[in-house]
Amino acid sequence: MVLLFGSTFAAPATEYTSVRAECRKNHKQKLCKKVKKPQRSGKHKVRQNKLPPVADPSRVPLGAKLLLSSKQEAIRDAFSECIRHVTETNRTGAVVDFVFREQTAREENGLRAFWSALRGSTAHHGHEVCLARTFRLRGYRDLADIRREAGGQLVEISSPYVEVVSKEIPPDRRFTRPWVRDYIAGLAHDMHQHFALEEQAGEHFVPLRVTSMIRSFEDQAKEVRRGLSPADCRYAFLCSTHTSGSSLDLGLKDIGQQKRAWLEARLIADQQKHKILFIIERSHYHVFVLPPEYMGEE
C-alpha cells in the first residue's frame, strides 16, 4: 500500500516480502533497522527469484472506506476475472488471449453490437487495465517523475506525419513509451502513403493528430475529482493506462470522412492482430498499445 494524495493507493501487489524491524538497544535509545524477510505462504517459502505476483483486487481491502461507484465496481469485476488468467508459466499470453476473445465476443452479435463494442464498456476498461497490470507497466506519479524518465523510458513522437496538438498537451506531457511511438509513427506513415495521391492532387495534408499522451497520477486524480473519468489511480484495477504512457488519444476533429474511415478500419485490423486495444470516444480514439514483452516494472 502506498499513500497517495492523502488516500490509500492500492498499488499492485508487490508486497511479496514483509518488512520486519530488527531492533537492538544501546544505553540511550532503541535503534531499529528495517530488514526485508521473505514472507511465508502456508507451508511454502516464497523464493526471492520468483516472479512477483500481479495486482489482485482480492488483496485490496474493499470495505466501507473504498466508495466505488457501480461503474467502478463493474470495472473491478471485469479486471478481477481477467487477472485470474495470469500464471507463473504463462505470464501474459493467457491474459492477452482472454482479453481479445472477450472483445470479439462483444462484437459478434450483429452490426449494432459491433459498433457498440468499439465505444467501450466497463468490461473493456477492466480488461485494458488488466493488460497494463499483467505486463506490469509502471505509472508515473507526478511531473518530476515524468521529467526524470524523459528521453529514457519516455520518448517524444517525431514524425512529419504526426501532429502532437500543442494546445491540448502541455510540453511536459508530450511523452509516450517507445513502442507506442513506433506504432503511431508507423500508422501515420501508412495513412500518409495511402492518401499521397489525393494530397499530390492538391488536397490539404492532414497529419495524424495526437491529443493526449502521458498523464501522471496527479493529473489523473484531477480528472477523477472533476468527474471526467472513473479511472481512479488510488485503485490498481481502475487506474488509467495513460499514467503508464502506454496509451494515447488520436483526435477526430477535422480529419475528414475518408481518413476517419481508413483510420478506423486500420485500428480495427490492428486490434484483431492483438497489437492494440482501442475505443471510439466522442472526440477521439483512445488507443492502448500492447508492449512487445513483459516489462516487470511495478
- For cell 489511480, name the residue: 233
User: In the set 286, 289, 295, 298, which binds Zn ion (CB under 5 A)?
Assistant: 286
Q: Give the count of residues interacting with Zn ion (CB under 5 A).
A: 2
Helix (H, G, I), strand (E, B) or coil at 88: coil
Bridge partners (DSSP) listed for residue 176: 155
Contact window for Zn ion (CB under 5 A) among 82-90, 145-153, 227-235, 241-249:
241-249
Residue number with CB closer to Zn ion (43 or 253):
253
In 3D, which of 116, 125, 117, 119 has the Cα closest to residue 72? 125
Least distance to Zn ion from the beta carbon of 26, Å? Answer: 56
Residue number with CB closer to Zn ion (219 or 249):
249
173 lies in the site for Zn ion, by CB under 5 A? no
Least distance to Zn ion from the beta carbon of 242, Å? Answer: 6
- For cell 511454502, name the residue: 44
Contact window for Zn ion (CB under 5 A) among 22-30, 95-103, 171-179, 243-251:
243-251
In 3D, which of 1, 12, 285 has the Cα closest to residue 135? 12
Least distance to Zn ion from the beta carbon of 267, Å? Answer: 13
Residue number with CB closer to Zn ion (76 or 286):
286
Residue number with CB closer to Zn ion (169 or 236):
169
Pairing of strands 162-164, 247-251: unpaired
Contact window for Zn ion (CB under 5 A) among 167-175, 183-191, 269-277, 284-292:
284-292
Least distance to Zn ion from the beta carbon of 111, Å? Answer: 25
Least distance to Zn ion from the beta carbon of 285, Å? Answer: 8
In 3D, which of 266, 294, 91, 99 has the Cα closest to residue 187? 266
Residue number with CB closer to Zn ion (92 or 220):
220
Three-class DSSP labels, 141-199: CCHHHHHHHECCCEECCCCCCEEECCCCCCHHHCCECHHHHHHHHHHHHHHHHHCHHHH
Within 8 A by CB and 6+ apart from 232, the residues are: 72, 220, 221, 224, 238, 239
Least distance to Zn ion from the beta carbon of 226, Å? Answer: 15
Residue number with CB closer to Zn ion (107 or 249):
249
In 3D, which of 190, 193, 203, 183 has the Cα closest to residue 248? 183
192-221 residues near Zn ion, rule: CB under 5 A = none
User: In the set 232, 249, 270, 298, which binds Zn ion (CB under 5 A)?
Assistant: 249
Residue number with CB closer to Zn ion (102 or 249):
249
Q: Whose CB is nearest to Zn ion?
A: 286
Element of type H or E holding 234 = none
Contact window for Zn ion (CB under 5 A) among 80-88, 107-115, 143-151, 282-290:
282-290
List C-alpha distances in Å: 5 to 137, 142, 242: 21, 11, 18
Least distance to Zn ion from the beta carbon of 283, Å? Answer: 10
List contacts with Zn ion (CB under 5 A): 249, 286
